[in-house]
């Protein structure tokens, strides 16, 4: 077993140091707990169980994190609570790096931390740090003593006693916040089979890109193929930063009520999620150049992934909270990310306009559908010849046509070209008008267009040419008017 100094008086004044450590900047319980979960994952744990309780009604809470990872040997255990006591100092393969996470995160939240580790065939052993003992100037003894093993063959348990920094009055609220934060931070691991529980309840993955989380049966879509940027590391190697953009389905989700939108994370959660070694270390409005965040920007998401060898470029601090991008990184990513952000903002705006347009056109579509059984039958594929339903939308289309119509599963889908002069001349004024006269006029115009689209369908082949010729003539005339 390694021989350890019994105290650290040579370099540090322990009693002051420990108070400083307590303020070391873990902004929340979630980020402090994440240090423990990172360690469990690095010890190959597949199960991590968090328990939170109040030993008696007016005590500070006690938090335990138990995993089924590899545990530690006695000398690792003796070192694990020492500042800088890492079995992987400055390795860049995974989360841990400086040997500060376990002691600093623990004492930022608790007045006492106890670590117990066990392996098959050996005894369980424990070490502890106590703020009050250190503050009193008593020499610290980190020699492992006997402890109680958990239920798995090997593993580790960290107990935080007297958590005096927790701001939640009710532990149920705290639990809910942890489900939300940890579900998001560890989403990749949860999706890959990690079992993480809080007081027995499984933490579910929360994906801010919505690429894998569905709401009302719909998910977001990738806006582009993932983009990769090659960045040179301080040691001269290169590594990739991967960036994904997703578009939320405005069409399906815009009409959800505000409570639902907030609960599932559609509004006010927009922006960029940054993953280091697969775990989220920051989220917010990062690397978007001079573009400011607007409401529409809630409706697209960005995920930026990098490996720890790029830590210097992302400006990772010891407590792994937040980023401070280097100039090189900003120059490599920001111009493109900013222009994509602007492009997606425009797409969202258009999707909202389209949704509004469709809602307003719904009345005309119902009228057309009610009249359809009285009109000559339009045969679909196979033997389908029931009455048609109708849908009118708007989108930018090639300039040579006023509209596009398609028959999809007995729905005649008409899309008006917002870029054709007819749209500006006929529709925009109607949209600006208020009152029932405008609504009637709009219905009349929509029925005019639907009946035209239906007629071209009935007549078959040459209708496209007819439509293009008509669109060109009308467009030309409108330009003169």
Ligand X SMILES: Nc1ncnc2c1ncn2[C@@H]1O[C@H](COP(=O)(O)OP(=O)(O)O)[C@@H](O)[C@H]1O
Q: What residues line the site for Mg ion (CB under 5 A)?
A: 39, 96, 101
DSSP per-residue string spanning 314-356? HT--TT--S----HHHHHHHHHHHHHHHHHHHHHHHHHHHHHH
Measured from the CB atom, the residue of 71 and 270 that comes closer to ligand X is 71
68-87 residues in contact with ligand X (CB under 6 A) are 69-72, 76, 80, 85-87
415-474 residues in contact with ligand X (CB under 6 A) are none
Phi/psi of residue 276, nearest 5 degrees: -110, 125
Partner touching 76 among Mg ion, ligand X, none, CB below 5 to 8 Å by kind = ligand X
Partner touching 67 among ligand X, Mg ion, none, CB below 5 to 8 Å by kind = ligand X
Q: Is 432 helix (H, G, I), strand (E, B) or coil?
A: helix
Part in contact with ligand X (CB under 6 A); list of ranges 91-99, 139-147, 377-385, 408-416: 91-99
Measured from the CB atom, the residue of 116 and 209 that comes closer to ligand X is 116
d(CA 221, CA 241): 20
Check residue 66 for interaction with ligand X (CB under 6 A).
no
Among 275, 287, 366, CA closest to 329: 287
Partner touching 322 among Mg ion, ligand X, none, CB below 5 to 8 Å by kind = none
Partner touching 78 among ligand X, Mg ion, none, CB below 5 to 8 Å by kind = none
CB of 268: closest distance to Mg ion in angstroms? 31
CB of 35: closest distance to Mg ion in angstroms? 5
CB of 90: closest distance to ligand X in angstroms? 9
Locate the DSSP E strands across 203-344: 221-222, 227-232, 238-247, 271-276, 279-284, 300-306
d(CA 89, CA 86): 5
Check residue 35 for interaction with ligand X (CB under 6 A).
yes
d(CA 397, CA 254): 23
Partner touching 87 among Mg ion, ligand X, none, CB below 5 to 8 Å by kind = ligand X
Q: Give, for 363, the enclosing helix (H) or strand (E).
A: helix 327-371
Partner touching 98 among Mg ion, ligand X, none, CB below 5 to 8 Å by kind = ligand X
Residue 73's CB is within 10 A of a number of other CB atoms, namely 15
Size of the site for ligand X (CB under 6 A): 24
Can you list the pairs that 459-465 forms with residues at least 24 positions away whose Cβ atoms lie under 8 Å? none
Query: Which residues, in sequence order, are bridge partners of residue 62?
Result: 53
Part in contact with ligand X (CB under 6 A); list of ranges 7-15, 39-47, 54-62, 166-174: 39-47
Partner touching 156 among Mg ion, ligand X, none, CB below 5 to 8 Å by kind = ligand X
Check residue 154 for interaction with ligand X (CB under 6 A).
no
Q: What is the CA radius of gyration of the chain?
A: 31
Residues 94-123: x where in contact with ligand X by CB under 6 A, - otherwise, as a string = --xxxxxxxx--------------------
The conformation of residue 215, written as its DSSP 8-state character, comes to B
Measured from the CB atom, the residue of 35 and 334 that comes closer to ligand X is 35
Partner touching 88 among ligand X, Mg ion, none, CB below 5 to 8 Å by kind = ligand X
Q: Give, for 128, the enclosing helix (H) or strand (E).
A: strand 125-130
Total count of residues recorded for the chain = 481
Q: Mention every residue, 6+ apart, whose C-beta is less than 8 A from residue 204.
A: 179, 183, 190
Whether 105 and 26 have beta carbons less than 8 Å apart is answered as yes
Measured from the CB atom, the residue of 73 and 212 that comes closer to ligand X is 73
Residues that bind ligand X (CB under 6 A): 35, 39-40, 43, 67, 69-72, 76, 80, 85-88, 96-103, 156
């Amino acid at each position: 077993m390694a021989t350890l100094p019994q105290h650290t008086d040579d370099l540090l004044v322990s009693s002051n140091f420990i108070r400083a450590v307590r303020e070391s900047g873990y902004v929340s319980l979630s980020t402090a707990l994440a240090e423990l979960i990172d360690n469990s994952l690095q010890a190959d744990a597949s199960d991590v169980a968090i328990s939170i309780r109040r030993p008696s009604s007016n005590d500070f809470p006690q938090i335990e994190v138990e995993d089924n990872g590899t545990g530690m040997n006695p000398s690792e255990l003796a070192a694990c609570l020492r500042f800088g006591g890492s079995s992987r100092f400055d390795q860049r393969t995974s989360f841990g790096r400086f040997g500060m996470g376990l002691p600093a995160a623990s004492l930022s939240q608790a007045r006492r931390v106890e670590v117990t580790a066990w392996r098959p065939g050996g005894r369980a052993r424990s070490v502890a740090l106590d703020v009050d003992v250190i503050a009193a100037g008593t020499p610290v003894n980190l020699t492992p003593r006997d402890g109680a093993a958990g239920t798995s063959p090997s593993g580790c348990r960290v107990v935080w006693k007297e958590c005096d920094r927790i701001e939640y009055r009710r532990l149920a609220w705290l639990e809910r916040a942890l489900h939300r934060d940890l579900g998001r931070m560890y989403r990749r691991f949860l999706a890959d089979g990690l079992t993480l529980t809080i007081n027995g309840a499984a933490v579910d993955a929360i994906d801010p890109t919505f690429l894998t989380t569905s709401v009302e049966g719909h998910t977001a879509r990738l806006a582009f193929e993932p983009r990769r940027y090659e960045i040179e590391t301080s040691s001269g190697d290169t590594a990739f930063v991967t960036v994904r953009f997703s578009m939320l389905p405005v069409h399906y989700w815009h009409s959800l009520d505000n409570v639902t939108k907030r609960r599932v994370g559609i509004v006010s959660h927009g922006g960029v999620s940054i993953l280091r070694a697969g775990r989220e270390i920051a989220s917010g409005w990062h690397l978007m150049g001079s573009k400011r965040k607007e409401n529409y920007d809630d409706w697209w998401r960005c995920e930026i992934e990098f490996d720890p060898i790029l830590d210097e470029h992302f400006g990772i601090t010891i407590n792994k909270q937040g980023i401070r991008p280097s100039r090189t990184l900003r120059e490599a990513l920001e111009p493109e990310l900013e222009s994509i952000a602007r492009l997606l903002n425009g797409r969202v705006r258009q999707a909202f306009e389209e949704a509004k347009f469709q809602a307003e056109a719904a009345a005309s579509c119902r009228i057309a559908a009610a009249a359809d059984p009285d009109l000559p039958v339009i045969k679909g594929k196979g033997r389908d010849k029931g009455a048609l339903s109708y849908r009118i939308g708007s989108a930018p289309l090639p300039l040579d046509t006023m509209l596009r119509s398609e028959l999809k599963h007995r729905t005649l889908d008409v899309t008006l070209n917002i870029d054709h002069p007819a749209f500006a001349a006929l529709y925009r004024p109607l949209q600006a008008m208020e009152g029932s006269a405008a609504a009637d006029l709009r219905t009349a115009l929509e029925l005019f267009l639907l009946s035209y689209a239906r007629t071209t369908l009935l007549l078959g082949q040459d209708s496209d040419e007819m439509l293009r010729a008509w669109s060109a003539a009308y467009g030309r005339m409108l330009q003169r008017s």
